Chains A and B, each alone.
Chain A
Amino acid sequence: MDFEWPDQPQKSDEFERELKQAMERRPAPPSLKGRIMQQRSRRRSERHHTSIMWWQRLAASLLVGAVVAGGFGWRQMEERRRGEEAKQQVLTALRITNQVLNNMNRKLAEHDRSDNGK
């Protein structure tokens, strides 16, 4: 344990003894522990509030995300529905056109037959 001091061992021992005596632990200020405990509880409560705020922010972000995603989904569904509706309308129009053309075709055919009969 003793540190080597080859040149003057006795004087060194004396010096180390003085040094050891001079460097005894000092008592901490009486208020130190109280301040530590106070700061600790303040930091804990800050951390608690920060944690609550973090969760609130997370919840708000999730809500906003859900609203945006919902809006986007709703818009896509709406567009698809409108597309389907337009498609059905086009098909109906085509069916009507087809029917009209068939009728016209049939009438023309009848007209041709009556012309040939004369």
Chain B
Amino acid sequence: MAQRWQPDFEQLADEHQSMVFSLAWRMTGDRGLAEEVAQDVFLELDRHMERIESPEHALNWLRRVAVSRSADALRRRRVRGVDLWVEIEEKHGVPTEERQSPLETRLEQLLSTLPEAQRAALVLRYQEDLTPEEIAATVDAPLATVKSNLHRGLKLLRAKATTHLKEYVRGL
């Protein structure tokens, strides 16, 4: 009989911290909040370690929980009455060493203005390179809904990009 995979928390944190952090940042649009979400996600992983069966299971679990906790964090913020998008406008305007180009910055900024479900679908599709089927499994939604969110999200983002990114790109 094959030996059961033994997860190593520190190794999992090391391997997946940038994935969880990036997902949380793109979902919430707030670096500080993303760090909090990433910490919560890993602490929750620690509580569920005995249920993690394989490295793939750990990766999928982390993706799912990161998306879900980010959405929860956004909802909590909305309940508290923080105008998140004003904050995002301010924070994304500040260049950081992690930024690659102004175009990418603006694209991310526009992404953060999309509805939550569309944003989640696009982040999982383009950051994590997941197929619509994998996204559906991750966010626990019907495949048709995910395809629709991807389609609408991409269309909306493209429309916004056409309007706002003329200064960076021609022919988008």
Could you tell me which A residues sit within 8 Å of B by CB distance? 1, 3-5, 11-12, 14-16, 18-29, 32-33, 35-37, 39-40, 43
Point out which of A1, A11, A40 has the most chain B C-beta atoms below 10 A from its C-beta. A40
Q: In the complex where A1-B131, A36-B17 touch, is A22 in contact with B104 (Cβ < 8 A)?
A: yes
- Please tell me if the beta carbons of A36 and B43 are within 8 angstroms of each other in the complex: yes
Please list 9 pairs of residues, one from A and one from B, whose beta carbons are closer than 8 Å in the complex, sorted by A's number: A18-B104, A22-B104, A23-B123, A23-B127, A26-B21, A28-B22, A35-B35, A36-B39, A36-B42
- Please tell me if the beta carbons of B127 and A25 are within 8 angstroms of each other in the complex: yes
Question: How far is A23 from B25 in the complex, measured between Cα atoms in Å?
Answer: 11
Q: In the complex where A11-B172, A32-B35, A36-B42 touch, is A26 in contact with B98 (Cβ < 8 A)?
A: yes
Tell me which of A3, A14, A35, A39 contacts B151 (CB under 8 A).
A3
Q: In the complex where A15-B161, A28-B38, A36-B43 touch, is A23 in contact with B108 (Cβ < 8 A)?
A: yes
- Please tell me if the beta carbons of B104 and A33 are within 8 angstroms of each other in the complex: no
Which label, helix, strand, loop or mixed, suits the secondary structure of the A interface? helix
Smallest CB separation, A26 vs chain B (Å): 5
List the count of A-B residue pairs having beta carbons below 8 Å apart.
94
Residues from 117 to 141 in B contacting A, C-beta threshold 8 Å: 122-123, 125-127, 129, 131
A47 and chain B: residue at smallest CB distance: B47
Specify which chain A residues have a CB less than 8 angstroms from the CB of B21 in the assembled complex: 26, 28-29, 32
B25 and chain A: residue at smallest CB distance: A26
Question: How far is A118 from B151 in the complex, measured between Cα atoms in Å?
Answer: 138
How many residues from B make CB contacts under 8 Å with A? 41
- Please tell me if the beta carbons of A35 and B39 are within 8 angstroms of each other in the complex: yes
- Please tell me if the beta carbons of B43 and A19 are within 8 angstroms of each other in the complex: no
Tell me which of A15, A16, A26 contacts B18 (CB under 8 A).
A26
Indicate whether B64 reaches chain A with its CB closer than 8 angstroms: no
Specify which chain B residues have a CB less than 8 angstroms from the CB of A37 in the assembled complex: 10, 13
Specify which chain B residues have a CB less than 8 angstroms from the CB of A43 in the assembled complex: 43, 46
Q: Which 4 pairs, one residue from A and one from B, show the smallest C-beta to C-beta distance?
A: A22-B104, A28-B17, A28-B21, A22-B107
- Please tell me if the beta carbons of A29 and B35 are within 8 angstroms of each other in the complex: yes
Contact with A along B55-92 (1 / 0, CB 8 A): 00000000000000000000000000000000000000
A42 and chain B: residue at smallest CB distance: B43
Indicate whether B14 reaches chain A with its CB closer than 8 angstroms: yes
Question: How far is A19 from B158 in the complex, measured between Cα atoms in Å?
Answer: 10
Question: How far is A21 from B9 in the complex, measured between Cα atoms in Å?
Answer: 30
